Each structure stands twice: as C-alpha cells, then as structure tokens.
Amino acid sequence: MTGPWSAALGAALALVLSAPASAAGPQLPARAWLARSSPIVTADQAGRSVYVLRGDQARWDADGGDGGVLWSWSADGREELADLDPDTSWTNPSEAKLRELGGHRYLLATASGGLAAVIGYPGRSVYWAADTGSGNAHSIELLPDGNVAVAASTGGYVRLYAASLGPRATEHIQVSLPGAHGVHWDPDTRLLWALGSRELIALRVDGPSDDPGLTVVHRTALPTRQGHDLAAVAKSPGRLWVTTASAVYQYATRQRKFVTYPLQSRISAPDVKSIGDDPATGQILVARPEPGHSCAWCTSSLTLYQPDGRRTLLHGAMYKARWWTTGRK
C-alpha cells in the first residue's frame, strides 16, 4: 500500500504506538485498533463547513483531496436553504452531531448566525431547517417524535420546534435557561437535558408532537460556572459529559449528581468546547481552543486520550468535534 493513505496510516500508527503505557487503551494490535476507530465530525469555521473525517488518519486536508474527508456539508450555495439567508445565518458553524430517526441518519448542525438544520446523511436532503435568530444557536437535538430542540446561549433559552410538522416549521415552545449551550435527549430517562451557564436541567416533553410542551423536572447547580458542552458518555450508560469554563465532569442521570470518572485528573481542563468517547474503542476526543490561533475560540488540532494522540485539520478552525456515531455500542 502506497500513497497518502499509507503515510497517514503510518503517522496514526506512530501516535498509537508512542502512547504512554498508562494510556494504552484497548489491548489490540495497533492496526486492528485503528480499524475499529469511528469517523470524526467537526464544525469548521474556516471552511464554513461540516466535515466527516477518517478517525484513523492523523492529518486531514479539506482542500487537498487526500481521502481523509469522507463527507462534507455546508449551507452555503444550497438553493433549498436560500430563503434562510445562509450568508448570514450560517456564520460560525458551532455544532455537528449524528442522529437516527425512522431508519434514516441525519447531520444535526447549528451556527452562531442562527441557522439550525437537520440534514439527511449521506444524501443531504433537508429534513428541517430554520433561522432561529440572533440568540447564538449553540446546540441541537433530534427527538424520537421528529421534533427538534435548540439551545441558544445569548438568547438564554431552550426551544422545542415542532419540526415534525414540516421542513420549515417554526412553531415552538421555549424555556428560559441563561447561557444555554448544550442540549441532549436521553433515551433512558426519556428526558431532554440542557446545560446553561450555572445549571444543568432536565425537561419532560409534554403533549402531542404537533403541539409540544416542556416542563422542567429537575435542576442541578454546576460545580463551576459557564457550562458549555453536554453529551452522552458512550461507554458508561446513564452518564453525561459536562464541560464548563474550568473543568470536565461526568453526571449520573439516575442519581442526579456529579461523579468521578477514570482519567479525570488528565482530561479535566479549562475551556473544553466538546468532548466524547468513541463507542467502538473508548478513545476520548477533546476540542479546545488552540493558543495563538487566529480564531480565539477555534483549533486546528484535536486531542485524544486512551490512547493519546492528536488529529490535525490543515488550515482548520474547528470549534466542536465529535465521534460520527449515534450512541452506545
């Protein structure tokens, strides 16, 4: 095997083989372990695009045709979204995640300019999209009934849109949450969890899908302020990753309390924009701002733990990055 893929595999193998013994991760031959690694999805503000990238490749070039980019999507130039003014509403893509509904897979994406969208994967058809306004749409979730939740940070709210009504449905119910940054549907508790600047809340979804309601059923104060990312812990069912301006936590949804977790002393760090563990391998993926980057809240490199490593998007300005999976394995 020769060419760019061979070089990329060699670089990725070097990262795995050079990992500290304390972070060795799954006890598999390096090639077998890499073959199990899930792809990575990232919201790249430099390219105004969402990229799905090879998880087993150490370096990607979105402009170089090196094979590392498996799939991409941007609102720019999409005629079917022209009515939502992507030039403005798609400014600073902020969220990207994969979900399934009715046997179909979807990219969920938001941008600080206000666009929130659910896009068919891999075909790119629009299931639903809306311009949520100037509240800084920061995270998005697709519910089992086909409706869509959006968290907006400066708007200070969580909205539940009746997206099941159609691709441009704007009917919604709204709950106040100052500094709302994250939103996640938990199938075990059947609650919508949302993260604000000072608290994590659990919301019950009431009513029919065409006229939904939201009720706050629990509130937990954050250990430190400025909550940012909220995601499921794939390898520990019943737990959520929670990041703040100063630390990374895990929260047990049944016990409704923050709990300790392996590698906490190494992983917990300030200003983590996103975090998640690969359900296939258990490897942990972290996005944090890169010192000296031209975008103060972006990075060109992602950090991996267990085993340790880095993944770099050349010329990138990544905000969040996640494993391109829908949940536990």
Percent of the chain with pLDDT over 70: 89
Query: pLDDT digits over 8-20, tens only?
Result: 434 443 333 333 3
pLDDT of residue 327: 81
Distance CA 12, CA 32 (A): 12
Q: What is the pLDDT of residues 280-311, one digit of tens each?
A: 999 999 999 999 999 999 999 999 999 999 99
Average pLDDT over residues 255-276: 97
* Structure confidence by residue, pLDDT tens digits, 221-239: 999 999 999 999 999 999 9
Q: How confident is the model at residue 175 (pLDDT cuts 50, 70, 90)?
A: very high
Q: What is the pLDDT of residues 25-34, one digit of tens each?
A: 344 444 454 5
Q: In what order do the strands lie in the sheet with 137-142?
A: 137-142, 148-152, 157-161, 172-176
pLDDT at 66: 79
Residue that is written with structure tokens 């799954």 in the block = 26
The pLDDT value recorded for residue 329 is 54
pLDDT at res. 201: 98
Alpha-carbon distance of 114 to 137, in angstroms, equals 5
Residues 129-150: what's their mean pLDDT? Answer: 98
pLDDT of residue 14: 39
pLDDT of 322 above 90: yes
What pLDDT is attached to residue 9? Answer: 37
Q: Please state, in angstroms and rounded to a whole number, the distance separating the CA atoms of residues 94 and 109.
A: 7
Percent of the chain's residues with pLDDT above 90: 87
For residue range 122-136, list pLDDT tens digits in order. Answer: 999 999 999 999 999
pLDDT digits (tens, 9 = 90+) for 52-74: 999 999 999 999 877 899 999 99
**Residue 304 β-bridge partners:** 285, 309
Structure confidence at residue 64 (pLDDT): 82
The Cα–Cα gap between 283 and 305 comes to: 6
* pLDDT given at position 231: 98
Continuous segment of H or E residues that includes residue 140: strand 137-142
Please answer whether residues 245 and 271 qualify as being in contact, where contact means their C-beta atoms are separated by less than 8 angstroms.
yes
Asked if 15 and 58 touch (Cβ cutoff 8 Å), the reply is yes
d(CA 109, CA 280): 23
pLDDT at position 35: 56
- In order of their start, the domains of the chain are 4-323 (2.130.10.10)
What value does the mean pLDDT take over residues 266-285?
Answer: 97
Q: Which pLDDT belongs to residue 67? A: 83
Cβ neighbourhood burial of 126 (10 Å; 0-12, 13-18, 19+): middle
pLDDT band at 86 (very low <50, low <70, confident <90, very high): very high
| Sign of torsion over alpha carbons 261, 38, 227, 256 | negative
The type of residue at 219 is R
Mean pLDDT of the chain: 91
Dihedral sign (CA 273, 197, 204, 125): negative
